[in-house]
């Protein structure tokens, strides 16, 4: 098994700094953090009375919801492609 180099990347999300360790490229980690920050700010603009914990949970719920929708769409497309191949 190949050992990928672990990167340590400092990001800022919603005014807080976080150090993220992972094998992803630091620019990818920065991009993900930027998307999380954008989503938190979007949700906050629609409901500014949310405390940071509720805002973070709603952001996570939105992200997982988007992920599941895309996963379902991918599975449908893969099934359609398989039908065409068969």
Question: What are the structural domain ranges in the chain?
Answer: 7-85
Whether residue 1 is predicted with pLDDT greater than 90 in this model: the reply is: no
Q: Are 30 and 10 spatial neighbours (Cβ–Cβ below 8 Å)?
A: no
Q: What is the pTM of this model?
A: 0.84
Please tell me the distance from the alpha carbon of residue 58 to that of residue 13, in angstroms, as a whole number. Answer: 15
Whether residue 2 is predicted with pLDDT greater than 70 in this model: the reply is: no
Report the pLDDT value the prediction gives residue 13, as an integer from 0 to 100: 98
pLDDT in tens, 22-34: 999 999 999 999 9
Whether residue 60 is predicted with pLDDT greater than 90 in this model: the reply is: yes
Task: Fill in the DSSP letter of residue 43.
Answer: H
- The pLDDT confidence band at residue 4, using thresholds 50, 70 and 90, is confident
Please tell me the distance from the alpha carbon of residue 33 to that of residue 16, in angstroms, as a whole number. Answer: 11
């Amino acid at each position: 098994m190949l050992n990928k180099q672990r990167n340590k990347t400092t990001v800022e999300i919603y005014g807080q700094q976080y150090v993220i360790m992972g094998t992803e490229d630091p620019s990818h980690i920065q991009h993900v953090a930027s998307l999380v920050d954008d989503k938190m700010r979007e949700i906050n603009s629609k409901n500014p009375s949310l405390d940071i914990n509720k805002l973070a949970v709603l952001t996570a719920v939105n992200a997982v919801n988007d992920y599941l929708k895309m996963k379902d769409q991918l599975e449908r497309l893969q099934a359609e492609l398989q039908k065409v191949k068969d």
